[in-house]
Amino acid sequence: MKKSFTFSIIALVLVLFSCGEKKTSSQASSTEPFIESGAIWLDTDGNQINAHGGGIMYHEGTYYWYGEYKGDSTYWNPKVPNWECYRTEAGGVSCYSSTDLTNWKFEGVVLKPDLENEDSELHPSNVLERPKVIYNDQTKKFVLWLHVDSHNYGKAAAGVAVCDTPNGNFEYLGSMRPNEAMSRDMTLFKDDDGKAYHVYSSEENRTLYISLLTDDYLKPTGTFTRNFVDKSREAPAVFKKDGKYYILSSGCTAWDPNQAEYAVADSMLGEWTVMGDPCSGKDAHITFYGQSTHVLPIAGKDGAYMAMFDKWNKTDLIDSRYIWLPIEFKADNKIDIAWQDKWQVSQVF
Ligand code: GAL
């Protein structure tokens, strides 16, 4: 009895001591929510966030997160025999806003599906994936590009929409096969000089195209490069740091996870050097069960970047989760994306 009493006192002192330690090292963050990858993330209304394969745009003090607004029933598409085509109704593109990257307000579905017209590309029976938005300083328009496809992924096209505000109703302008080539997984990248690029998996997803857009960001200029030829890279995410360009991407295994890879170049249309797998820690070799979608430069924090991944749940796609992790930069253009169960924005950036 006495022994256990003494033990309890020691344990209590240790607990108090460790609490004290914690408080001093993260005083400002005691009420700040954690970013807990793979957990259910709720918006400020208490609903599960539905913004898959998306990206975040920072504009005038607010982060806008755009993503696929997935329907709530997942089914296997028997019309696609050669791969495991699980899919769901395409519900358009959702938008959430936040000033701190943890409290997200649902702004609505900003690119609406066309529920009436079965021939519309925006009909829920088709595929709408990987939406990305950038702001055009000249036209003052928010420009959205996304992967638009038929129910069996045979169309392989890119759609474009515009809006005067980040959270308004985007007007759909139609789709194309940019540079007369197939376009599936995609991202946009806006450079410091205002030029923008459409980066997309082409040639049956075997080769990644980087295509310079017109000044209004609505069309390809016709200047493009073919990269990682026959290497089947998907899910591209592009960012720039200290004059170097980085592409993070996945392999090509449908909804199943695979190994991530990154490459570095001196210019968007230049030669890319493959650097290997940037991930480390638990399940790093399969991207922590995730697939890249975007890399966000943290506003006002030089050198701070966050990598965003989707953790797909192929048999219940709406319940796919999110993995967000900070990027650490090392010597010789190397990066490390280390697994963390949970972390706080103010403590890392
Ligand atoms: C993935 C792709 C996703 C989606 C999925 C369909 O490879 O990255 O965006 O198209 O295939 O199975």
pLDDT tens digits, one per residue of 239-297:
999 999 999 999 999 999 999 999 999 999 999 999 999 999 999 999 999 999 999 99
- Asked whether residue 11 is assigned to any structural domain, the reply reads no
Residue 34 lies in a domain: no
220 inside domain: yes
Residue 329: its pLDDT value, please?
98
Minimum mean pLDDT among 77-91, 173-187, 248-262: which range? 77-91
C-alpha 244 – ligand 1 centre gap (Å): 28
167 closest CA partner among 102, 216, 98: 98
**Residue 253 included in any domain:** yes
pLDDT of residue 79: 85
**Residue 16 has what pLDDT?**
39
Quote the domain boundaries for residue 251. 40-348
∠ CA 83-88-92, nearest 5°, is 125
Number of domains within the chain = 1
For residue 70, tell me if it sits in a domain: yes
Poorest-confidence range of 77-81, 119-123, 254-258?
Answer: 77-81
Question: Tens of pLDDT along 52-77?
Answer: 999 999 999 999 999 999 999 999 99
User: Is the minimum distance from the CB of 185 to ligand 1 under 6 angstroms?
Assistant: yes
Angstrom distance (rounded) from CA 254 to CA 179 = 24
- On whether residue 267 sits in a domain, the answer given is yes
Tokens representing 289 are 């069960």
| Ligand 1, pocket-test mutation among 255, 293, 308, most atoms within 8 A of CB | 255
Under 8 Å CB-to-CB from 43, ≥6 apart: which residues? 49, 96, 104, 105, 106
Q: What is the pTM of this model?
A: 0.92
Tell me if 234 CB under 6 Å of ligand 1: yes
32 pLDDT band, cuts 50/70/90, is very high
Q: Is 89 in the pocket of ligand 1 (CB under 6 A)?
A: no
Residue 150 within a domain: yes
* 156 close to ligand 1 (CB < 6 Angstrom): no
Give me the pLDDT at residue 30, please: 80
Residues 6+ apart with CB under 8 A from 166: 57, 59, 62, 64, 95, 97, 133, 135, 142
Model pLDDT for residues 123-176, shown as the tens digit of each residue: 999 999 999 999 999 999 999 999 999 999 999 999 999 999 999 999 999 999
Tell me, in angstroms, the distance from the centre of ligand 1 to residue 98's CA. Answer: 27
Q: Are 136 and 144 in contact (CB under 8 A)?
A: no
Residue 63 included in any domain: yes
Task: Kindly tell me the sign of the dihedral angle through the C-alpha atoms of 151, 153, 154, 157.
Answer: positive
Tell whether the model's pLDDT for residue 102 goes beyond 60: yes
Q: Nearest to residue 103, comparing CAs of 151, 34, 202, 170?
A: 34
197-234 tens-digit pLDDT: 999 999 999 999 999 999 999 999 999 999 999 999 99
Q: CATH number of the domain that 261 lies in?
A: 2.115.10.20
337: part of which helix (H) or strand (E)?
A: strand 335-338
